[in-house]
Amino acid sequence: MASRQAGNSYEDGYILVPPSILTSRFLWYTVICLGQLVNSSTMITFKNVSKIYPGQQIALKNINLDIKPGEFVSIVGQSGTGKTTLVKLILAEERPSKGKIVIGGWDITGIKYREIPTLRRQIGVVFQDFKLLPRKTLYENVAFALEVAGESNEKISEIVPQVLKIVGLESKVNRYPTQISGGEQQRVVVARSLAHRPKILVADEPTGNLDSINSRDIIELLKKINDFGTTVVLVTHNREIVNDLRKRVITIEDGVVVSDQKRGKYLL
Amino acid sequence: MLFLSLSRVIRFSAQNFARNIWLSIVTITIVVLTLFSVTTLVFVNAVMEQAIQLVESKVDVSVYFKPTVTAEQIFAVQTNLEALDYVRDVEYVSKSQALEKLRVRYNNSPLILESLKELNDNPLNDTLIVRTHDTSDYQKVIDILNATPQYAVLIENKNFDDNQAVVRRLERIAAEVTGVGWAVTIFFSIIAILVIVNTIRIAIYTHRSEISIMKLVGASNWFVRGPFIGEAIFYALVGTLITLGISYLVTNVSDPFVVNLLGQTDFSLLRYMNQNVVHIFGIEFIGMVFVSVFSTSIALTRYLRV
Ligand SMILES: Nc1ncnc2c1ncn2[C@@H]1O[C@H](COP(=O)(O)OP(=O)(O)O)[C@@H](O)[C@H]1O
Ligand SMILES: [Mg+2]
């Protein structure tokens, strides 16, 4: 009887129903350990990564990074220090000249051309220039990202209102980008980047064109997304934002990581 | 899933086409010019071939017999000639038939008719008209007639209508026309390639934000390129249809002249077109799809960097 009860107590969440307490307990620990292993594994890993552009322009030198699932990381540094290059390496828009890059357990160092779309569907991207299509409504702009990735029409009509609601624009879905403010436009871009339910959201200076109030809104949005469990990588050189966030800050200077703090401040 | 993507690719193709409407019109014009020069080439070749056949069928050797020769003797010669494998047929025309033919032929010339009437004796000869399968075999017939002594006694004269020279000239003209036609076609094809490359280049430029978004959100490479390939196929399709329309128009207008020119052969360009329309324009469409997809690939590899 006892063994049965013990067996039942392990049923929830685990497929394995052990025949005896002993083995079940053993499996139970194994599962926990494995779970911790998964948890402790990293979402983004850079190992001795250098990027040298044609013409001997060294953008990144020997970068080592470990970003864990669910982390919120700010990457700061002056202009021209290689922050965007780092983002492009994550997206496989550029390839490392040296070193190894692993995203979610997938070594993308030598990623094949035809595999790139699969990678990008799992990473949401937000850039400084808004990059909304002016001839499409907000709804159509978000739907476009799903359409071109081959999502079904039913799925599209289900997801688009959801993500537009997350960014608080559910009432303006039929407007065109010119009919909303800059901050709202950037929120649509965030909504679009969420459409694929990415595990990682990369935002390269998302507040670069926005005033402080709109910037704050965007950052709040990113925090909210991070709370859902998405790993967020925020590239910025906005001091206030970084200091208010009280999250991990990686500082890059001339292509080198000069500091990596758990609850960082803007150093420069 | 494939069908869904395909329908989206087609929709994006149509948008590409519509968004640069003037460029699309220019592109289609050059596609039509190319295809029309091919069609013209096909038509001219068909007409020339008919003309050559017509002239070839008129080449013959006429053997005129002396007045003393009897019909039996002539039939014997006819039988011998017909036995030759390169001879197609041998026609016997008696002198009275020959005179009748002459009367019919000069029906409209009273002067000649008068002079014919004034003859109280038929001055013409009994004749055998020899036709061979191949124009080059006429000389063989002449040689045999010359080399056989028992024929020589019977024959007064023989006449080899040298239409072969006409045939050769026609063949030369046909070859030249074909050469010029190909040169024009190749010229237009090269222009078409340049124009399509440029059109697609501009389409890529016009859609650069869409393309960069597509790439960033993980559209497959096929999906990014598909609309441009679709646009290329669309140009080929619309171009072929317009060429088909113009060709029918031209055929309709020119057919009376062609029928007149080749009266005896019972050849009609319109009928030729109707019989071969699928063939001609099917091949032209496929050829143009190759040309335009090839051009688009050039533009995509050159201007659509990943
Ligand atoms: N495609 C490129 N080709 C050559 N050099 C480049 C290229 N992209 C960036 N760089 C150079 O690499 C360095 C880092 O650029 P970037 O990563 O854009 O910096 P950041 O985003 O921090 O401003 C700069 O010196 C820049 O000029
Ligand atoms: Mg940058």
Secondary structure letter of residue A14 according to DSSP? -
* Average pLDDT for A22-41: 48
Say what the pLDDT of residue A37 is. Answer: 38
Of all residues in chain A, what percent carry a pLDDT higher than 90?
A: 60
Secondary structure letter of residue B62 according to DSSP? E
Say what the pLDDT of residue A148 is. Answer: 85
Q: Give bridge partners of residue B9 from the DSSP assignment.
A: none
CA gyration radius for chain A? 21
Residue to substitute in A58, A76, A85, A252 for testing ligand 1 pocket (most ligand atoms within 8 angstroms of CB): A85
Give the domain ranges of chain B: 2-55+167-303, 59-162
Residue nearest to atom 24 of ligand 1 (CA): A80
User: Which runs of consecutive H residues, i.e. helices, occur in chain A?
Assistant: 2-9, 21-40, 83-90, 116-120, 138-147, 153-166, 182-194, 212-227, 239-245
Say what the pLDDT of residue B154 is. Answer: 81
**In this complex, do B209 and A148 lie within 8 Å of one another by their Cβ atoms?**
no
- On the question of pLDDT at A15 being above 50, the answer is no
Q: Give bridge partners of residue A102 from the DSSP assignment.
A: A45, A107
Residue nearest to atom 3 of ligand 1 (CA): A53
Low-confidence residues of chain B: pLDDT under 70: 1-2, 160-164, 306
Question: Residue B256: how many CA atoms within 13 Å on its side-chain side?
Answer: 2
- Distance between CA atoms of A236 and A15, rounded to whole angstroms? 44
Average pLDDT of chain A to the nearest whole number:
84
| Chain B residues within an 8 Å CB radius of A144 | 210, 213, 217
Say what the pLDDT of residue A13 is. Answer: 35
Say what the pLDDT of residue A164 is. Answer: 95
Say what the pLDDT of residue A268 is. Answer: 64
Could you tell me if B232 and B295 are in contact, meaning their C-beta atoms sit under 8 angstroms apart? yes
Q: Which ligand is nearest to the CA of A205?
A: 2
Could you tell me if A122 and A199 are in contact, meaning their C-beta atoms sit under 8 angstroms apart? yes
**In this complex, do B219 and A91 lie within 8 Å of one another by their Cβ atoms?**
no
- On the question of pLDDT at A38 being above 70, the answer is no
**Run of H or E including B100:** helix B95-105
Secondary structure letter of residue A120 according to DSSP? H
Query: Which ligand 1 atom sits closest to the C-alpha of A81?
Result: 22
Could you tell me if B43 and B269 are in contact, meaning their C-beta atoms sit under 8 angstroms apart? yes
- On the question of pLDDT at A171 being above 90, the answer is yes
Report how far apart, in Å, the C-alpha atoms of B200 and of each of B8, B24, B51, B105, B230 are.
19, 10, 44, 64, 11
- Distance between CA atoms of B14 and B7, rounded to whole angstroms? 11
Residue nearest to atom 18 of ligand 1 (CA): A84
Q: What is the pLDDT of residues A74-131, one digit of tens each?
A: 999 999 999 999 999 999 999 999 999 999 989 999 999 888 999 999 999 998 775 8
- On the question of pLDDT at A23 being above 70, the answer is no
- On the question of pLDDT at A253 being above 90, the answer is yes
Distance from CA of B212 to the nearest CA of A (A): 9
| Chain A residues within an 8 Å CB radius of B1 | 150, 152
Alpha carbon of A80 to ligand 1 centroid (Å)? 6
Distance from CA of B224 to the nearest CA of A (A): 8
Could you tell me if B31 and B192 are in contact, meaning their C-beta atoms sit under 8 angstroms apart? yes
Q: What is the pLDDT of residues A201-245, one digit of tens each?
A: 999 999 988 888 999 999 999 999 999 899 999 999 888 888 888
Pairing between β-strand A44-53 and β-strand A98-103 as defined by DSSP bridges: antiparallel
Nearest to A133 among B209, B215, B224 (CB): B209
CATH label, B59-162, candidates 3.40.630.10, 3.30.470.20, 3.40.50.2000, 3.30.70.3040: 3.30.70.3040
Residue of A nearest to B9 (CA): A148
Say what the pLDDT of residue B160 is. Answer: 66
- On the question of pLDDT at A8 being above 60, the answer is no
Distance from CA of A231 to the nearest CA of B (A): 17
Say what the pLDDT of residue A241 is. Answer: 87
Residue to substitute in A49, A78, A81 for testing ligand 1 pocket (most ligand atoms within 8 angstroms of CB): A81
- Disruptive mutation site among A106, A120, A148, A201 for chain B (greatest number of B CBs within 10 Å): A148
